[in-house]
């Protein structure tokens, strides 16, 4: 919230300073953009000859990507395995590598201030903020793998009731603890525990308010023509990404691997790069 207030204060200062400018807010343009922040639309206006203001929204299309994660199934040994053998229970097989669907999810509002070195310069510095939901990506395992997990856990859950009947009949006291043997998904440095239906719903969350700083070329509001083209290059500061599974924040377990390297790289970079191209039309 402090970041947002600082940004809004910065904008208000420029707007108040623009009251002395006779041509402030007299010109306006609408724009459409395409870039790493998604597909965007915005409205821009002049504040001073050296300052322009943009407000709009952008979103990433509903795309998805498939990848694989490993399934870790703890070995059942010792007295626990003896209990299974005694009851003639066979645990079902589970594929050690399962499909996972990844979906980027990013929709933001943006408020940007373009600062030009001179009143006729096309080059600019840009500051502002992107504001949107904290969730920027989701991942979930396939239906097939979820069914395998359900079947495996159902088999484990059936052991103790059968042992209870055996103990009652023969006066024994066999126990079977199913919890340590439940399968789990391993994604790099993170262990994801499936829910009762066998699904591990993972999500990546960042700061909802993301200060932006960048450079660009081209006027947000064309000066001497009706159409204009501009380019932006900058970064959103969104903090350290956090990973959640079924609503709980995950912590690293140090397994390593290629996926681990990729995820560690993503978490070590607290900014999201923005490169976008914008086409605009002057309406005032």
Six-digit token string for 184? 């789990």
- The CA distance from 7 to 91, in Å, is 58
Q: What was the pLDDT predicted at 143? A: 93
Q: What was the pLDDT predicted at 134? A: 94
Domain ranges of the chain: 2-282
Selection from 95, 65, 72, 74 nearest residue 255 by Cα: 72
Selection from 68, 33, 80 nearest residue 178 by Cα: 80
Six-digit token string for 162? 């059968």
Helices 159-170, 143-157: inter-axial angle, 10-degree rounding: 10
Q: What was the pLDDT predicted at 3? A: 54
Q: What was the pLDDT predicted at 18? A: 46
Q: Which residues of the chain have pLDDT under 70?
A: 1-22, 188, 253-267
Cβ contacts of residue 156 below 8 Å, gap of 6+?
91, 176, 178, 181, 182
Burial class (CB in 10 A: 0-12, 13-18, 19+), 275: middle
Q: Are 3 and 129 in contact, with CB atoms under 8 Å apart?
A: yes
pLDDT digits (tens, 9 = 90+) for 146-172: 999 999 999 999 999 999 998 999 888
């Amino acid at each position: 919230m402090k970041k947002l207030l600082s940004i809004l204060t910065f904008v208000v200062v420029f707007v108040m300073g623009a009251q002395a400018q006779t041509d402030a807010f007299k010109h306006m343009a609408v724009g459409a953009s395409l870039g790493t922040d998604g597909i965007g639309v915005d409205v821009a206006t002049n504040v001073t000859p050296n300052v322009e203001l943009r407000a709009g929204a952008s979103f990433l299309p509903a795309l998805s990507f498939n990848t694989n994660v490993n399934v870790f199934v703890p070995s059942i040994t010792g007295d626990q395995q003896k209990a299974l053998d005694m009851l003639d229970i066979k645990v079902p097989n589970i594929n050690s590598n399962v499909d996972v669907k990844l979906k980027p999810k990013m929709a933001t509002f943006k408020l940007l201030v373009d600062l030009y070195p001179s009143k006729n310069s096309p080059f600019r510095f840009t500051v502002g903020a992107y504001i949107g939901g904290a969730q920027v990506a989701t991942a979930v395992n396939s239906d097939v793998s979820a069914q395998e997990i359900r079947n495996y856990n159902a088999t484990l859950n059936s052991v103790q009731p059968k042992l209870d009947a055996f103990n009652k009949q023969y006066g024994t006291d066999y126990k079977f603890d199913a919890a340590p043997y439940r399968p789990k998904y391993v994604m790099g440095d993170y262990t994801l525990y499936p829910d009762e239906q066998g699904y591990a719903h993972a999500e990546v969350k960042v700061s909802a308010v993301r200060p932006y700083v960048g450079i660009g070329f081209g006027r947000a509001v064309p000066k001497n023509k009706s159409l204009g083209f501009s380019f932006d290059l900058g970064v959103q500061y969104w903090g350290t990404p956090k990973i959640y599974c079924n609503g709980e924040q995950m912590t690293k377990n140090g397994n390593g691997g290629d996926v681990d390297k990729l995820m560690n790289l993503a978490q070590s970079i607290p900014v999201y790069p923005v490169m976008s191209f914008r086409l605009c039309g002057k309406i005032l």
